[in-house]
Amino acid sequence: MNLTWSSPYRQPLGMDDKFRLRADIDNVRIDVYLSERLSLPRSQVKRLIEEGHIRVEERVPKSSFKVRKNIEIEGEVPRVEPTLLTPEDIPIRVLYEDDVLLVIDKPKDMVVHPSSGHRKGTLVNAVLSHLREVSRADERPGIVHRLDKGTTGVIIVAKDRKTQEALSRQFHERSVEKVYRAVVEGVVRNDEGVVEGLIGRHPKDRKRMDLVAKGGRYSFSQFKVLKRLEGFTYVEVYPKTGRTHQIRVHMSHAGHPIVGDELYGKRSRKLADRPLLHAYRIVFDHPATGVRLCVEAAVAADMETFVREHAL
């Protein structure tokens, strides 16, 4: 049985999928900027530019055009047919569910969003199967936010477009409170810390993000020590923004990369089979009732084991 899945990459742009925004940074390529602002793959943004769907001051720019602060960018994202995906009987742990939304405890090594390389075994396939079981197969659910493949913990799924739009606005307005837990390299000296700055693509390694002097987007994270271990530290992190790889980049910049992180880690990259990062708690306003909800996911077993085995 095939069901439709609405694109997880698009923020709600209105019924016509048109947008207009004023740039808030300088000296960054327009395809990179719009990819981040609209939550669209960069390749898709390039195609939109090439096909004339993006305009700056009523002119179609090149993909290499450098955005200037306060310039107005407008355009439209043509509607495409939803991807056909097959529901798969993949076990998921439901933390909260009602008529309009679903909150799941994502396991490690599960890809969230379907793509050309991951059409099966994703969180989406599992969610479609779950909704079919609860007689909601006619809905088009949407992933509201992102977790990396190796990250475990709380992730929200909207069961309809209206709910997805309402939740996406909360993330955009930064009214959602997110709490992560992680095991990092080294013993963190101070009980609390802050990392902030512009996050952009690493100048040499395009797979990595980095704190850059210009051209990136503002990011802010607080963290505190939960427990000091033998050569490691168990921390809680409170990201106020939601940039790509934000916590991984920030903890690495602070000199304490996440254990098991092959992209940003150092000596302990091989001590775990994934970055020991867990989305522990999320707090948001219910899109239908307005009631403030707090949902938690118990720390993943591999993290608990690592903390226990390296206790002082």
Catalytic machinery residues = 148
CA distance 278 to 58: 44
3-state secondary structure of 237: strand
Give every CB contact of residue 305 below 8 A, 6+ residues apart in sequence.
Answer: none
Please enumerate in sequence order all residues whose Cβ is within 8 A of that of 140, keeping only pairs 6 or more positions apart, or say none.
4, 5, 6, 82, 160, 161
Cα dihedral sign, 233-174-38-124: positive
CA separation for the pair 53, 48 (Å, rounded): 5
276 CB-contact burial (10 Å; exposed 0-12 / middle 13-18 / buried 19+): buried
Structure tokens at 226: 């939960």
Burial class (CB in 10 A: 0-12, 13-18, 19+), 147: buried
Chain Cα centroid distance, residue 133: 27
How many CB atoms within 10 Å of residue 299? 17
Helices (H), the chain: 30-38, 42-50, 123-133, 161-172, 246-253, 301-309
Strand 217-228 with 72-76, pairing: unpaired
